[in-house]
Amino acid sequence: MTRIRRRQSDAGIQLTPMIDVMTVLLAVFMVTTPMMTTGIDLELPRAGASAMTGNDHAIQISVDSSGRFFLSEMELPCDEIVKRAIAMREENPQLTIMISGDTHADYGAVMSVMGKLKDAGFQKVGLRTQPE
Most confident of 39-43, 67-71, 91-95: 67-71
Closest CA to 93 of 57, 39, 53: 57
C-alpha span between 111 and 109 (Å, rounded): 5
Provide the pLDDT for residue 56: 55
pTM, two decimal places: 0.60
Give the CATH fold of the 38-127 domain: Nucleotidyltransferase; domain 5 (3.30.420)
Sketch the domain layout of the chain as residue ranges. Answer: 38-127
Residues written for the chain: 132
**Proportion of the chain above pLDDT 70, given as a percent:** 72
